[in-house]
Structure 1
Amino acid sequence: MESCTSLSFFSTLSKPPLLYDTRISLSLYKNTSNRRNLRPLMEVSGFSYQKFIHFALDQTKRRTHLVPSPLKDNFSSSIPMDGKTELQILSFQAPKIRLLRSLCVEGNETMQVLDLAVFPKPEFDLPIFCANFFSTASMNIVVLDLNPLHDVISRKDYKEKYYKSLMPLGLKYAELLPWGGKITSESLRFFSPIVIWTKFCPSQYNHNVLYSAFMDYYKAWLDLMEQASEETSASEIICNCEAQHRYLTWRAEKDPGHRVLKKLIGEAHSKDLVKNFLFNGVDELGNKTFLDYFPEYQCEDGTVNDKRSIIGKSFEHRPWDASGEFVGNSFS
Structure 2
Amino acid sequence: MVSTAHWLRMESASSTAFSFTLRRSLSTKLGEAAAATAAGSGITRRARRPSVRVSALSYRKFIQFALDETALHTHLTPSPLQESFSSMKPLDDKTEIELLSYKAPKIRLLRSLSIQGSKGLQVLDFAMFPEPEYDLPIFCANFFTAAETNIVVLDLNPLYDVIKHKGYKDKYYEGLMSLGLKYAELLPWGGKLTGESLRFFSPIVIWTRFESSQHMHDVLYSAFVDYLKAWLLLMDRGIRETDASHIIANCEAQHRYLTWRAEKDPGYQVLKRLIGETHAKNVVRSFLFDGVDSLGSKTFLDYFPEYRCEEGRVNEKRSMIGKSFATRPWNPKGEFIGNHND
Normalised to the residue count of structure 2, the TM-score between the two structures is 0.85
RMSD of equivalent CA atoms: 2.3
Partner of 2:128: 118
SS of the counterpart of 1:63? coil
Alignment of 1:129-148 (within 5 A): 129-148=139-158
* Separation in structure 1 between the aligned mates of residue 14 and residue 5 of structure 2, nearest angstrom: 11
What corresponds to 1:37 in structure 2?
Answer: none
Q: Paired residues, what number?
A: 304
> Residue in 2 aligned with 1:287?
297
Q: Taking structure 1 as reference, are residues 73 and 128 closer, same or farther at Cα in structure 2, changes over 3 Å only?
A: same
Residue 251 in 1 paired to residue 261 in 2? yes
Look up the SS of the partner of 1:163 in the other structure.
Answer: helix
Matched to 2:235, the amino acid is: M
Distance verdict in 2 for CA 1:317–1:111, change over 3 Å? same
Equivalent of 1:100, from 101, 110, 126?
110
Q: Where in structure 2 are the equivalents of 1:266-305 lying within 5 Å? A: 266-305=276-315
Q: In the alignment, which residue of structure 1 is the partner of 2:194?
A: 184
Separation (CA, whole Å) in 2 of partners of 1:258 and 1:81: 15
Give the Cα separation in 2 of the matches to 1:147 and 1:194. Answer: 9
Question: Residue type matched to 2:299 in 1?
Answer: T
**Offset of residue 255 of structure 1:** 0.7
Change (3 A) 1:123 1:46: closer
Alpha-carbon separation, structure 2, partners of 1:281 and 1:10: 28
TM-score by length of 1: 0.87
8 Å contact 2:153–2:207 — kept in the other structure?
yes
SS in 1 for 2:246: helix
Residue aligning to 1:237: 247
1:70 is displaced (CA, Å) by 1.9
CA distance in 1, matches of 2:329, 2:186: 17
- Residue of structure 2 in register with 1:316 after alignment: 326
User: What amino acid does structure 2 have at the position aligned with 1:131?
Assistant: A
The answer (yes or no) to whether the contact 2:153–2:205 under 8 Å persists in 1 is yes
Cα 1:155–1:311 shift into 2, 3 Å: same
Identity of matched residues, %: 66
1:22 Cα deviation (Å)?
Answer: 10
* Aligned twin of 2:4: 12
1:119-143 CA-to-partner distances (Å, cap 9, x unmatched) read: 0000000000000000122110000
The one-letter code matched in structure 2 to 1:12 is T
Unaligned runs of 5+ in 1: 1-8, 25-44
Q: 1:48 aligns with which of 47, 58, 72?
A: 58
Structure 2 letter corresponding to 1:78: M
Structure 1 residues 276, 22: closer, same or farther in 2, change over 3 A?
A: closer
User: What is the CA–CA distance in structure 1 between the aligned matches of 2:89 and 2:340, rounded to whole Å?
Assistant: 44
Alignment partners' CA distance in 2, 1:129 and 1:233? 24
- Verify the 8 A CA contact 2:329 2:341 in the aligned structure 1: no
Any stretches of 5+ residues in structure 2 without a counterpart? Answer: 17-54
After superposition, the Cα gap between the structure-2 partners of 1:274 and 1:319, relative to the gap in structure 1 and judged at 3 Å, is same
Q: How far is 1:217 from its partner?
A: 0.2
| Contact kept in structure 2, 1:170 and 1:195, CA below 8 Å | yes
* Offset from partner CA, 1:149-192 (integer Å, 9 cap, x none): 01111111100100000000000000000000111111111000
- SS of aligned partner of 2:338: coil
